[in-house]
Structure 1
Amino acid sequence: MIIDAVDVRRRYGETVALDGVSFSVDEGKIFALIGPNGAGKTTLVRALSGTTDAEGTVSVFGQSPADVARDRIGLLPQEFTPAGRLTAKELVEYYAGLYDESRDPEAVLDDVGLTDSADTFYENLSGGQKRRVCVGTALVNDPALLMLDEPTTGIDPTGRRDLWRLIEGLADGGTTVVLTTHYMEEAEELADHVGLLADGELVALGSPSELIGRYGGESRLLIEPEDGDAAVEALTDAGYEIISEDRRVAVPADATDIPSIVETLADAGVVYEGLTWRQPTLEDVYIELTGTDAASADGMTTEGWA
């Protein structure tokens, strides 16, 4: 076990940042913390890395986080602004020089997709490129434990998936990864286990598939009919349950149910503009447990992509 956290608590004055959080992470696993800004994700990462005090027990490599050798941990804070007048390569080289042993900076830049921008000043990089450089600085010491606080914020979808593959490869090689995110797809794609944080509390813990199976609800077919009343009547008469009757009529359905539902609508002469089959996701789980959409709570946009 690489991380063992038991009843971790942290207050800032009257504000409760962490309220009795407990979990563990095994070697080579990816653990994702999900939640909106203010949920406690960053405070928990700081407690795990020894950069803030917390009540309860936190063990990293069997030690107090403050006692762990710094070269065993790679940390990317959510807010990190390196020197703007250094190039991407110079920045990675600088952080490599802080350790007795480190990876080749050029190989790190290649890993994060910045070989072609290696000689560009940090201040002239796009938002997404800057974030990639920052990820590179956390990788340069080849850490056994990598902590990434919102690593793909501001990165375009293609670049985000490239970093996902990099993180998966590190875990396959034995690196333990803890990341925070409010991209539900990111956690669902990457994580072996997920912790859902809300108002400082860990409201659920498990693998993405376990949490979706337990809290996500049923798969459903979403129908956009021209005449909603006619669609509801036809489906109800055929014995189908109707979940919602707003702009789209929702019916619980497995993939194998779709042909019979389509046939029911056709037999009743119901015309529709679209059909969408939707499986439950971690977003559904989070909303079910907290009543809050983690992405919307952060006001996420795609601005700053690069």
Structure 2
Amino acid sequence: MEAEAVVEARALEKSYGETVALSGASLAVEAGEVFALIGPNGAGKTTLVRALTGTTAPDSGQARIMGDSPTAVDRSRLGVLPQDFSPPDRLSAHELLAYYAGLYDDARNPNDVLADVGLADTGETWYEDLSGGQQRRVCVGATLVNDPDVLFLDEPTTGIDPAGRRTVWRLIENLAASGTTVVLTTHDMAEAERLADRVGLLAGGSVIARGTPEALVRDHGGASRLTIETAADPDAFADLEYPVSRPERGRGRTPDSAVVVRDIDPAAIATVVDYLEARNFEYTGLTWSEPNLEDVYLELADQTELERTDSVDDAADHSDLAQAGETA
């Protein structure tokens, strides 16, 4: 029997004037699952989180949390971290958490929460005097004072340094292990790969792909790649048994002069080296890489953007033709 979804969106639609933010967005998140929403800016991630948490009313479709509508659910069971969250500056970190804890009948000790987010030694520091990353961690802590059953985090680690980011990651992992259901948005593919049981890619207001990070990489990530830093042209590799091309734009950091050998196993790298040396091709480096979630993101997001652009161009062409007919 399929587990009942703790968080669910069914065909959510939301527009602001002529701007479509959500276009039939659907997802289901099970108890204790970490579900990461990824997608380009303007894809609708924040609007979807707002619709799921009841802070934005969708134009159509249905959102449910623990079987209730977002506006009817017991708020003490939820933790919500908006993308933009600005608590009072002239309170200490401890005072801020104590304030939010005071909103609940059975809240956690603010000192314990500060320790959870790695700020045990900064409790008496005013919020305005904390670094940007420390402020964000305090904000994460504010969502945990009520020990929520369901946690929504909209880009939780934005502005946090690598060490602090790993503290937050471990915290989310521990929360999920204890049964908390987590929905988060992120632009950090490493964050999504590490934390998420499943990932949903939102583009154009719709969830166009979902699955475990491993399944998404397998289905959409493409082939493994060996990047060769060389001035040689891809045509010079015509008789190599593997496909060779220039690097695709936007696919990570690549040298100005390089070629990419695709679909190659690490054991075959020596064959390519022998090939280079037999032909006296000069090269300054070799880098082998497997596809990852960033490749999935770029492939599917680029494809959706291309389809959207083609659709806009087609509409413009039809409009031009219609205007030409009217003036003929």
TM-score (normalised: structure 1): 0.91
TM-score (normalised: structure 2): 0.85
Partner of 1:161: 166
| Structure ranking higher on relative contact order (CA contacts 8 Å, 6+ apart) | 1
Deviations 1:166-190 (A, max 9, x none): 1011101100000011111111111
Partner of 1:11: 15
Matching residue within 135, 140, 157 for 1:152: 157
Residue 269 of structure 1: how far off its partner (Å): 2.6
Contact 2:32 2:177 in 1 (8 A): yes
Matching residue within 257, 281, 285 for 2:268: 257
Partner of 2:238: 236
d(CA) in 2 for partners of 1:257, 1:172: 40
| Structure 1 range deviating more: 172-181 or 182-191 | 182-191
d(CA) in 1 for partners of 2:285, 2:303: 28
Is the alpha carbon distance of 1:292 and 1:124 closer, same or farther for their aligned partners in structure 2, counting shifts above 3 Å?
A: farther
Matching residue within 34, 37, 53 for 1:33: 37
d(CA) in 2 for partners of 1:128, 1:4: 31
Contact 1:221 1:251 in 2 (8 A): yes
Q: SS in structure 2 opposite 1:272?
A: coil
What count of residue pairs does the alignment treat as equivalent? 291
Contact 1:286 1:293 in 2 (8 A): no
The structure with the largest alpha-carbon Rg is 2
Matching residue within 101, 120, 123 for 2:106: 101
Contact 1:109 1:118 in 2 (8 A): yes
Residue 292 of structure 1: how far off its partner (Å): 7.7
Residue 232 of structure 1: how far off its partner (Å): 5.4
Identical amino acids, percent of aligned pairs = 56
Q: SS in structure 2 opposite 1:161?
A: helix
Does 1:207 pair with 2:212? yes
Does 1:269 pair with 2:280? yes
d(CA) in 2 for partners of 1:98, 1:31: 27
Question: In structure 1, what residue type is equivalent to 2:273?
Answer: V
Q: SS in structure 1 opposite 2:214?
A: helix
Partner of 2:196: 191
Pairwise CA RMSD? 1.7
| Structure 1 range deviating more: 243-252 or 151-160 | 243-252
Residue 128 of structure 1: how far off its partner (Å): 0.3
Q: SS in structure 1 opposite 2:284?
A: strand
Q: SS in structure 2 opposite 1:203?
A: strand
Question: In structure 1, what residue type is equivalent to 2:39?
Answer: G
Is the alpha carbon distance of 1:247 and 1:293 closer, same or farther for their aligned partners in structure 2, counting shifts above 3 Å?
A: farther
Residue 293 of structure 1: how far off its partner (Å): 11
| Structure 1 range deviating more: 277-286 or 164-173 | 277-286
d(CA) in 2 for partners of 1:254, 1:167: 35
Residue 260 of structure 1: how far off its partner (Å): 1.9
Unaligned runs of 5+ in 2: 248-255, 306-328
Q: SS in structure 2 opposite 1:67?
A: coil
Question: In structure 2, what residue type is equivalent to 1:255?
Answer: P
Does 1:75 pair with 2:75? no
Question: In structure 2, what residue type is equivalent to 1:287?
Answer: L
d(CA) in 1 for partners of 2:147, 2:15: 33
d(CA) in 2 for partners of 1:152, 1:32: 13
| Structure 1 range deviating more: 67-76 or 158-167 | 158-167
Moved over 6 A (4+): none
Partner of 2:317: none
Partner of 2:116: 111
Matching residue within 205, 209, 223 for 1:218: 223
